[in-house]
Amino acid sequence: MTEIAPNTSVLDDVVSAFQIEGLPVRGRVVRLGAAVDEVLTRHAYPDPVANLLGEACALAALVGSSLKFDGRLIIQAQGDGPVRYVVVDYDTSGGLRGYCRFDPDEVAKASEGFARPGAKTLLGGGVFIMTLDQGPDMDRYQGVTPIEGETLALCAEQYFQQSEQTPTRIRLAVGQVDTGEGSQWRAGGILIQVIAGDAARGDTQDAWTHVQALFETTGEDELIDPTVSTPTLLWRLFNEDGVRLLDEKPLRAFCRCSEDRIGVVMDSFSAQEVEEMIEPDGKIHVTCEYCSRVYKLDPPKDQAPAA
């Protein structure tokens, strides 16, 4: 454990757990710099779509970093709005990847008059889903709730309340910041949860009400400001009660796509389908939806075009 010092230097692309001293409230803070910038700039997303995906990246890191097994957390939301689908895949080694499917014209129309259209505006009616993947030998666990509220943070709060009966508060922020090397995307988030009362702790409601009041003072600008470190942020919020920084986990942009994985997918297509995929250069071009990497594969020998 590390005691909070307000002047600790900034460390990006890390998610940090913390505990408020003497109170049954724990939490996590995420700061994303180069990792989220890489995820968002791989595609030519309009700003509202990039904001939505950036929020999903920060949320996946906040929730996924608490997992006690080696595996993955997949956060997705899908609806009938301008953004059909947003998904972020977090693995417990700290890798993040994500993408959105959207209609550019519908996004532009939905953005008229809005500084930043939120999740409900962009996704419309639909569902918010969290999936826990513990590996090929274990069943996946999936929780589904309706999309309600204008942010993914509100969707996640509702998920925790309905699926896990855990009172949770979340705040997320995304924006472009000039770091001296041009404008770059940044994202941040903070999550707090109350530990249920028991015979030893007694009723925890008063403590939860107190911490929520402090949490409400969190500014979105603080969450993405490169000059405000995680310890400084926590000290600003909770120094009167005392707060301890616990474990920290590094984060990075990482995609699991590979030529071997693409090859396995290609094996599922019929000979006719494979033939229709062959481009004029004699290769099959496959683009990863997550990282936009283009693979140029040789078709099976019996499908190769005649010389």
- Which residues 6+ apart lie within 8 Å of 30 measured at CB? 14, 15, 16, 58, 61, 62, 65, 187, 188, 189, 190, 251
Reported as a single tens digit per residue, the pLDDT across 40-67 is 998 889 999 999 999 999 999 999 999 8
Residues 277/284, Cβ–Cβ less than 8 Å? yes
Task: Decide if pLDDT at 233 tops 90.
Answer: yes
Question: According to the per-residue pLDDT averaged within each range, which of 62-76, 113-127, 135-149 is highest?
Answer: 62-76
pLDDT at site 201: 59
Residues 26/269, Cβ–Cβ less than 8 Å? no
- CATH number, span 14-253: 3.55.30.10
Q: Where are the domains of the chain?
A: 14-253, 259-297
Reported as a single tens digit per residue, the pLDDT across 76-107 is 999 999 999 999 999 999 999 999 999 999 99
pTM for this prediction: 0.87
